[in-house]
C-alpha cells in the first residue's frame, strides 16, 4: 500500500481523534488543525495537562484518562516525547487504529513499536493538509470521468 493510500484509508476510517498537545491559541497549528478537523465532522478529544476546555470540548490530562475510545491519536509533541506517548497508547484499554505525527515529528523506533502492535503510523505529515488533499482527490467533481 502506498503512503498516499495509507493516509486516505486512515482519513476514511476514523471518526474520533485524540489530539495530544492541543493548544488554545488561535494562531497555533495545534489549535488550527483540530479546529479544521472538527469543522469537517470529526470528533476531537483534546489531550493536554495544561487546559480544561478547548474547542468546546473537555480536555483530558493524558491518553490513559480518556473516557471513550478514539480511532486516531494525533501527536503535536516534540519527537523526543513520542516514546512516552507510545507507552500510553500501548497501555490504552482500546487502542486506536492509527497514530499520526504532525509535520516535523518522527521517531522510527516508537513507530516500529506501534506497527508491531498493529497500529498504523503516519510520521512528519500535516493532518489538515493531507485531509484537504484527500477530500479534493476523492471529490467526484474533481475526478475526470471515464466517459467524457
pLDDT, residue 102, reads 97
The answer to whether 24 touches 44, Cβ cutoff 8 Å, is no
**Average pLDDT of 84-113?**
98
Biggest alpha carbon distance in the chain?
Answer: 55
Sequence-distant (6+) residues with CB within 8 A of 86 are 99, 107, 110, 113, 114
Query: CA–CA separation, 30 vs 133, rounded Å?
Result: 19
Look at 17-31, 36-50, 87-101, 124-138 and tell me which has the smallest mean pLDDT: 124-138
Report which DSSP code applies to 19.
E
Q: How confident is the model at residue 147 (pLDDT cuts 50, 70, 90)?
A: very low
Q: What is the CATH number of domain 3-135?
A: 3.40.50.720
Tens of pLDDT, residues 22-42: 999 999 999 999 999 999 999
User: What is the average pLDDT score of the chain?
Assistant: 92
Q: How confident is the model at residue 139 (pLDDT cuts 50, 70, 90)?
A: low
Which residue is it, cell 474547542?
55
pLDDT, residue 142, reads 43
% residues pLDDT > 90 (the chain)? 84
Domain ranges of the chain: 3-135
Q: What is the dihedral of CA 80, 18, 44, 140, to 10 degrees?
A: 90
Amino acid at each position: 500500500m502506498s503512503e498516499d493510500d495509507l493516509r486516505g484509508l486512515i482519513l476514511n476510517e476514523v471518526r474520533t481523534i485524540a489530539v495530544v498537545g492541543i493548544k488554545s491559541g488561535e494562531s497555533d497549528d495545534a489549535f488550527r488543525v483540530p479546529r479544521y478537523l472538527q469543522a469537517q465532522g470529526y470528533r476531537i478529544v483534546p489531550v493536554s495537562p495544561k487546559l480544561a476546555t478547548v474547542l468546546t470540548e473537555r480536555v483530558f490530562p493524558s491518553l490513559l484518562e480518556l473516557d471513550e475510545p478514539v480511532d486516531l491519536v494525533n501527536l503535536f509533541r516534540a519527537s523526543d516525547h513520542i516514546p512516552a506517548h507510545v507507552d500510553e497508547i500501548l497501555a490504552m484499554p482500546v487502542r486506536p487504529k492509527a497514530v499520526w505525527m504532525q509535520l516535523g515529528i518522527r521517531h522510527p523506533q516508537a513507530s516500529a513499536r506501534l506497527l508491531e502492535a498493529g497500529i498504523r503510523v503516519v510520521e512528519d505529515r500535516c493532518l489538515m493538509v493531507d485531509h484537504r488533499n484527500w477530500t479534493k482527490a476523492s471529490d467526484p467533481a474533481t475526478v475526470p470521468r471515464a466517459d467524457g
